[in-house]
Amino acid sequence: MSEQKTMRGWLDTPTANEVIDGVYLISGWVLDIVEIKRVQICLDDLIEFNAFYGDPRAGVSDSYPSFKNPNCGFSFQLDTRKIQSGRHNLKIIVTNIVEQKYILSDITFFMRELVEPSLTSLKQLNTLQAMYRKPVYDISKIYRKLYTVINDPEIIQNFIHDFETDPEGYDSKYYHLLSTGDLLKIAFSEVRKHVELEKPNRILDIGCAGGDITLALMGMFPDAQIISGDLSIGLLTLLRDRVEEFRPNANSLIIQINAEELDFQPRSMDLVIGKAILHHLFHPEKTIKCCSEILKSGGCAIFFEPFENGNSLISLMMDSIFEDIRSNDLPPKVKSFFVNWVKDMANRKGRDKTHPMFCKMDDKWLFTKNLLNEWAALAGFSKCIIYSLHSPQNMFQQQMINLIKLGADIEPNQVPDWIRESIAKYESYFSDDLKQDLLIEGCIIFIK
């Protein structure tokens, strides 16, 4: 593909991350000082269609009079019924008469599933509506077996960040069914020290993502009704497919929901669980308050979240590593990761999230025991139990290696020995008991 500075063009429809269905009009315009030979619609780098070129676009011609081409529009009727539902890539490839090619547009869009609502979906809708205090909408005609309480269609179509633009990529990083099951077993063991938790009848999984919590709960409590909620339709469809494959007989309800607006009926839940959800929210205290309202007496809410004190120590360690002259030999992607990570941790500390930068930040919070205990008391919980998710042995070394792998794609055996030794030196100043107080990530249990 060559770069053509003489070319002007625009893709009108679809827009990036738009959700489309039926017979859909792909349209736009393109101008070149050399005659346009063809405009091709390329789907997923596999399928190409020839668009019609020559639609009248008087407004465009008036804006670019030097091209002298009033018929510079292109269009193509895409029959999406012949395309698999889900995420797709669309490129507009333009070729002129001297066989110069260039890409006018390269975007992602989403194909809706078109299926008829079933008796099962109507029953599920009625079940959800009975327990929810605001209208529940059936979107199963578009997204099979999914429901929503979001009545603004722009939220559904324009929810743009990693969860929705690349749900499979996000899921591949954070879906860990086996380790999640272990986290839950330890949490339930801690809960049982304070209240009975034998057979919860109804469980809410908020921020369920691809469903590692949901599927683990289905294995532990096969008779329970489990409501799984997330804002991302992309992740909810991944969860739905997993439930159908691995737990087809489970009593499962999947709903698009805002975690800050859990308007379920009071005292309707036995258990609420959220894995890595509170730190994404602007107002996690609202979610905690909602949990208190919807839980039955003796019920509990369990969350797994990042904490400020342990992560602040990791920031100090990263600064120290970066100041070492040997860091000059580190790969650029590791250096960049260190700088960005330390900056991100600094931005996330504290309570004030009103700065405009938080509108663009996925991760917003690092929690403290003091803050969570305060919110627990305000919400009316009788107890707030917090413990570390990390074993104290080599805790900071292991977390640093995990972060470098996740953030810079460096395998553990590629981490230089001097970095390990530097972290070990810091870690030697802390007893195992102190490390349990220096939470990097922790489990938070609110008991009603």
Question: pLDDT tens across 9-25, in order?
Answer: 999 999 887 888 777 89
Percent of the chain with pLDDT over 70: 92
Whether 5 shows a pLDDT value over 70: the answer reads no
User: Which range in 232-241, 400-409, 425-434 is most confidently predicted, on average pLDDT?
Assistant: 425-434
The two beta strands, 225-230 and 251-256, are: parallel
Q: Are 90 and 14 in contact (CB under 8 A)?
A: yes
Residue spans per domain, the chain: 8-111, 119-306, 308-447
Higher pLDDT, 85 or 117: 85
Identify the pLDDT of residue 160: 44
Identify the pLDDT of residue 119: 61
Q: How confident is the model at residue 184 (pLDDT cuts 50, 70, 90)?
A: very high
Write the DSSP symbol of residue 427: H
- Averaged over 378-391, what is the pLDDT? 96
Identify the pLDDT of residue 158: 41
DSSP string, 407-424: HH---GGGS-HHHHHHHH
Higher pLDDT, 109 or 348: 348
User: Which range in 85-89, 147-151, 164-168, 271-275 is most confidently predicted, on average pLDDT?
Assistant: 271-275
Q: Are 334 and 419 in contact (CB under 8 A)?
A: no
Q: Give residues with Cβ within 8 angstroms of 123, minimum separation 6.
A: none
Residue type at 68?
Answer: K
Identify the pLDDT of residue 113: 60
Phi-psi region of 54 (alpha: psi -120 to 50; beta: other; left: phi over 0): left
Residue type at 292?
Answer: S
Higher pLDDT, 151 or 346: 346
Higher pLDDT, 211 or 176: 211
Identify the pLDDT of residue 385: 97
pLDDT tens track for 327-376: 999 999 999 999 999 999 999 999 999 999 988 888 999 999 999 999 99
Whether 388 shows a pLDDT value over 60: the answer reads yes
Identify the pLDDT of residue 157: 45
Identify the pLDDT of residue 423: 94
Question: If we measure between CA atoms, which residue out of 263, 112, 274 comes closest to residue 184?
Answer: 274
Burial-class residue 95 by CB neighbours within 10 Å (0-12, 13-18, 19+).
middle
Q: How confident is the model at residue 46 (pLDDT cuts 50, 70, 90)?
A: confident
Whether 114 shows a pLDDT value over 70: the answer reads no
The class that CATH gives domain 8-111 is mainly beta
- Averaged over 399-403, what is the pLDDT? 92
Q: Are 68 and 83 in contact (CB under 8 A)?
A: no
Q: What is the average pLDDT value for the chain, to the nearest integer? A: 88
Q: Are 423 and 395 in contact (CB under 8 A)?
A: no
Q: How confident is the model at residue 162 (pLDDT cuts 50, 70, 90)?
A: very low
* CATH entry 3.40.50.150 includes domain 119-306: yes
Identify the pLDDT of residue 116: 53
Question: If we measure between CA atoms, which residue out of 92, 90, 91, 97 comes closest to residue 32?
Answer: 97
Whether 4 shows a pLDDT value over 60: the answer reads no
Whether 152 shows a pLDDT value over 70: the answer reads no
Q: Give residues with Cβ within 8 angstroms of 214, minimum separation 6.
A: 205, 208, 226, 228, 239, 243, 252
Identify the pLDDT of residue 49: 87
Identify the pLDDT of residue 232: 86
Distance CA 131, CA 265 (A): 5
